[in-house]
Chain A
Amino acid sequence: MKPFIAHEGIVVPLDRPNVDTDAILPKQFLKRVEKKGYGKYLFFDWRYHDNQEENPEFILNKHVYKKASILLTRKNFGSGSSREHAPWALKDFGFRVIIAPSFADIFYNNCFKNGILPIVISETLVSDLFENVNRVEGYTLRVDLDSQTIEGKHGFHTRFEVDSFRKEMLLNGRDEISMTLQEEELIEKFEGKHNVYFQFDVPENKN
């Protein structure tokens, strides 16, 4: 995975709470067996009219946001289905950072696996950012993962929290499976003493 160290980009304001993964990537696009190419389906039902034409009212279709790479949104972003297709679509569209007051657990986790940094900051700070973005066309932010800071125009500056393990994984673009496989001995040792009462492993005392 490509490391994530810092990122500067245009912020698009998606002013809705509880945006679920069905909205981020509708189910008709889950049938593909590939990991790439979902960007064009991102927010499909909101982005396009029934006749497949772009809905000019939807924020992502405004010209200034075509190259946005930071998504600003409200609480509980990414709720619902566990589909990793949602972060795949966001990444493929070009998003590297999502800022919200809260995220749904599975989605939050899925972002890190795909080099997207989800940032939680307070509702008040999110509202401040919405104000800035609405005031300044093409408002940009600079996000620095190492120092855990966000900086922008109009005096916006804040620190954010991120779990140190996830931070390191992103900063180094590490492959989690390779890392775990280094612990293989521990896993084997654990398996030696752990008895799952599972049909394929009939408990020892059965015979």
Chain B
Amino acid sequence: MAPKTIIDKIWEQHKVHGEEGKPDLIYIDLHLIHEVTSPQAFEGLRLNGRKVRRPDLTYATMDHNVPTADKNKINDKIAHKQMATLEKNCQEFGIELADIHHPDQGIVHVIGPELGLTQPGKTIVCGDSHTSTHGAFGALAFGIGTSEVEHVLATQTLWQSKPKTMEVKVNGKLAPGVAAKDLILAVIEKFGIGVGTGYVMEYTGEAIRSLSMEERMTVCNMSIEAGAKAGLISPDDVTISYLKGRRHVPSGEAFDQVAARWQSLASDEGASYDKTIEIDASEIEPQVTWGTNPSMGSSINGNVPYPDQFESQSERESIQRALDYMGLEPGTPINEIEVDYVFIGSCTNSRLSDLRAAAEIVKGKTVHSGVTAIVVPGSQTVKLLAEQEGLNTIFINAGFEWRESGCSMCLAMNEDIVPPGKRCASTSNRNFEGRQGNGSRTHLVSPAMAAGAAIEGKFTDVRNFQAALA
């Protein structure tokens, strides 16, 4: 048999129906929902007298809107109504919900893996573009719009044309002090935000194999920032050992059988892809974005670019527009850019290992005067585990705020907003105009780099801190 990619294998296993000239009807194994992109879908079901086909394959939480300062104080009435609507819909249609007071509550892409709902070989969808996160487990996971949320609720399927496949080969090893976030930012900086359009990306290579599950989630999370429909990593021993013992994962003998099946999903040796791109991990340095899309980035030791360095007029205009918005002069060294806010959180970087990496830098130091710094754990579970290790004390003693779990300042739908003109070092995934608040200026970085910026009041090569610690 011809060697196959994991994408081919998952596709074949989920094809309910396929005919010439039509997309395939694909079965969905797990549908994650949250308060923002689901109300109109449930309303659609009601208007047409339809039911949820598989409430048992559907799981809901609240994350986008939730307050993180005090979960008992929802000051925003419209947000409150949206959360109440989700609660009502889950009750009416029989869907399990981790609401704002539930111990499992958290960012949908953090809790899926945590609970073991996310598993290799599954098709996973959610009305959220960062659903690609779950691809870290070798699942085919992608974001959908509200119409498709309604379609999945009603039918547990989607009409999909098979996407093209792209291998993203990450050769060599990451240097010490360089994080998974730096890796994916460097990939997007090198290949651009449109490189993945129409493709599912599979990350391969030595550097990827050496990453922990949490680091793999960071990488797959940002596949959408490269334009990809999804990003995934073939399962291996790291995947299996992460999943063992999780609540929704089978145990005992059944686990061994499932694990063997998961391992067999990995792309076959010699499988071919529609396209391959390559990057050398050993050359990657800590990254900081300076512009208004995730490809506008640089290493910490670089400078803000001059627009006239770029070839096309449209590119020059784009860069100039980004620099005007960001309030940056061409040629400014990245490590001289001062920050007002630091946000450690989001579905990209809010897991326990992210908080540990930041805490290591922060320990025994003080947040620079004038900097507002917050840590928003990805879930109540992450929060609890971090507190058991005393990470909260390290952050609080340094002057950080320690918050409840949610999406928070990544998209500023709740009260965690970066004010106009203020500059934020953020561990999130998007630096679009206005993303963290109207007029806010976002610089995407890793958790350690964000922690370093909080202490120094400006971007700094965090490897210097780490060297001092060693």
What residues on A are CB-neighbors of B57 within 8 Å?
Answer: 196, 198, 200
Contact at A186–B154, with CB atoms within 8 Å? no
Which chain B residues in 88-138 approach chain A with CB under 8 Å?
116-117, 119, 121-122, 127-129
Known A80-B129, A198-B29, A203-B250: A33·B23 in contact at CB below 8 Å = no
Q: Which A-chain residue is minimally distant from B262 (CB atoms)?
A: A197
Contact at B143–A177, with CB atoms within 8 Å? no
Contact at B29–A196, with CB atoms within 8 Å? yes
Which chain B residues in 134-166 approach chain A with CB under 8 Å?
142-148, 150-151, 154-157, 159, 161
Min CB distance, A174 to chain B, in Å? 12
Interface size (A, Cβ < 8 Å)? 60
Min CB distance, B157 to chain A, in Å? 6
**Cβ-neighbour of A31 out of B78, B128, B193 (below 8 A):** B78
A79 CB–B CB distance under 8 Å: yes
Instruction: Tally inter-chain residue pairs, CB-CB below 8 A.
Output: 201
Chain A proximity mask over B346-367: 1 for CB below 8 Å, otherwise 0: 0000000000000000000000
What CA separation (Å) do A28 and B147 show in the bound complex? 21
**Cβ-neighbour of A45 out of B37, B43, B257, B438 (below 8 A):** B438
Min CB distance, A88 to chain B, in Å? 9
What residues on B are CB-neighbors of A198 within 8 Å?
Answer: 29-30, 56-57, 117, 119, 122, 248
Which chain A residues in 29-56 approach chain B with CB under 8 Å?
30-35, 45, 50
Contact at A109–B148, with CB atoms within 8 Å? yes
Contact at B16–A190, with CB atoms within 8 Å? yes
What CA separation (Å) do A201 and B48 show in the bound complex? 28
**Cβ-neighbour of B144 out of A22, A106, A183, A186 (below 8 A):** A106
What CA separation (Å) do A191 and B56 show in the bound complex? 13
Contact at A18–B318, with CB atoms within 8 Å? yes
What CA separation (Å) do A202 and B314 show in the bound complex? 55
What residues on A are CB-neighbors of B143 within 8 Å?
Answer: 82, 106
User: Which stretch from B329-337, B386-394, B426-434 is at the chain A interface?
Assistant: B426-434
A124 CB–B CB distance under 8 Å: no
Interface size (B, Cβ < 8 Å)? 84
**Cβ-neighbour of A80 out of B43, B150, B430, B438 (below 8 A):** B430
Q: Which A-chain residue is minimally distant from B254 (CB atoms)?
A: A206
Query: Please, could you name 28 A-B residue pairs with CB atoms under 8 Å apart, sorted by A?
Result: A22-B411, A22-B433, A22-B434, A23-B434, A27-B435, A30-B64, A31-B65, A31-B76, A81-B430, A82-B128, A87-B145, A104-B227, A163-B161, A180-B25, A180-B151, A180-B155, A181-B154, A181-B155, A187-B25, A187-B156, A191-B156, A196-B122, A197-B119, A197-B122, A198-B29, A198-B248, A199-B116, A200-B57
Interface residues of B (CB under 8 A from A): 13-14, 16-17, 21-23, 25, 27, 29-30, 36-37, 39-40, 43, 48, 50, 53, 56-57, 64-65, 76, 78-79, 81-82, 85, 116-117, 119, 121-122, 127-129, 142-148, 150-151, 154-157, 159, 161, 193-194, 197-198, 224, 227, 229, 247-250, 252-254, 257-258, 261, 293, 314, 318, 321, 411-413, 420, 430, 432-435, 438-439
Interface residues of A (CB under 8 A from B): 16-18, 20, 22-23, 26-28, 30-35, 45, 50, 74-76, 79-84, 87, 102-106, 109-110, 113-114, 163-165, 176-177, 180-181, 183-184, 186-187, 190-191, 194, 196-203, 205-206
